[in-house]
Amino acid sequence: MNVTNSRSAIFLDEMGVGVQWQLRQRPAGPATGEVQAGAPDAPMVASEPRDETVAAEAPVVTVAAVPAPAAPAEADSRSEGVAEGVAEGDAGGAADSDTAWFDDVPAPAPAAPISEQEIAALDWPALRKAISQCTRCTLCESRRHPLAGRGSPTARTIALVAAASHQDEQERQVVAGDAGQLLANMLKAIDLDVEADVYVTPLVKCRPTNQQGQDRAPTGEELLACRPYLERELALTGATLALTFGQHAARGLMLGAAARGAVLSYGAAALPVVATYHPQDLLQRPEDKAKAWADLCLARSVRD
């Protein structure tokens, strides 16, 4: 026994395995069941024994090679089986796959619409939460970010737009971007700070879109669905003057005809309303800024 075998015997004995016996001389040919490398279609011949006398008397046994199965045909048959299982709902087919359970969970039911009576009792935090979860009209199915108002919660002047635009929805701010900056300048011209003295809010809190995903004017149904939120905003702020920006805001508030250059009256409290141009319209038609300035001066006279 050489040194390596001696060490192995000691290790095996320590582990309680005992000595493993080995052949003194391994046969030259491959072991039984071992396939020699070569062409797959060549016949396999049994290995010869070492004894030449026995080899002379023993017949040569030839084993025919088993042809490999046709992989493409089998794959096609399996694919057809899966397709049939999906089509027929076979319990032994695709229905047993790991992803079948994805279709078993029903979609969550939408929240019940909040009532006008419930809205009328909300404070500011609860009102904003209710707007963010509102399901009072179908706009909840396509909206991305409902927009509550911004500015002072005790403002004496409320500024109204018809609805949020695409940019407003992206920036999550009513009258955002360049139009928002122009709005601030317009209000500053009549000594009003857009954050400290005014509450800016849309009549419809979710952005209305057409089939192409573009901005559109809100419908009468959408205006009525959101009206309780506006009524609550007016009550919480205690506003004594309303400024509407854009024709859709003026008509949407009055739910009918509205005109510039005159003081309108809204609701049972006869809230004074002055209509003027939307800042976005003035950016596209700067020649109307003189008319807008006249409207703002009228609003200042009503406020004072």
Question: Is residue 72 assigned to a domain?
Answer: no
pLDDT > 50? residue 43: no
Spatial CA neighbour of 95 closest among 73, 292, 103, 264: 103
Residue 109, pLDDT score: 65
Highest mean pLDDT pick, 55-64, 69-78, 167-176: 167-176
Spatial CA neighbour of 246 closest among 213, 217, 270, 224: 217
Which CATH number is 262's domain given?
3.40.470.10
Among 26-35, 50-59, 103-112, the minimum mean pLDDT is found in: 50-59
Span 99-103, mean pLDDT?
57
Question: Is residue 24 assigned to a domain?
Answer: no
Residue 46, pLDDT score: 44
Domain count, the chain: 1
Question: Is residue 20 assigned to a domain?
Answer: no
| Interval 146-190: pLDDT, tens | 889 999 999 999 999 999 999 999 999 999 999 999 999 999 999
Domain that holds residue 272: 116-303
| Interval 235-290: pLDDT, tens | 999 999 999 999 999 999 999 999 999 999 999 999 999 999 999 999 999 999 99
Between CA 74 and CA 125 the distance in angstroms is: 65
Question: Is residue 206 assigned to a domain?
Answer: yes
Between CA 111 and CA 236 the distance in angstroms is: 25
Question: Is residue 142 assigned to a domain?
Answer: yes
Spatial CA neighbour of 123 closest among 283, 235, 273, 243: 235
Among 21-30, 87-96, 131-140, 291-300, the minimum mean pLDDT is found in: 87-96
- Residue ranges with strand state E in 164-296: 198-204, 241-245, 263-266, 271-276
Residue 24, pLDDT score: 57
What pTM, to 2 d.p., does this model score? 0.64
Between CA 91 and CA 86 the distance in angstroms is: 9
pLDDT > 90? residue 143: no
Span 105-129, mean pLDDT?
86
Question: Is residue 181 assigned to a domain?
Answer: yes
Question: Is residue 6 assigned to a domain?
Answer: no
| Interval 76-98: pLDDT, tens | 545 454 445 444 544 555 545 55
Question: Is residue 18 assigned to a domain?
Answer: no
Residue 202, pLDDT score: 96
Spatial CA neighbour of 131 closest among 62, 228, 211: 228
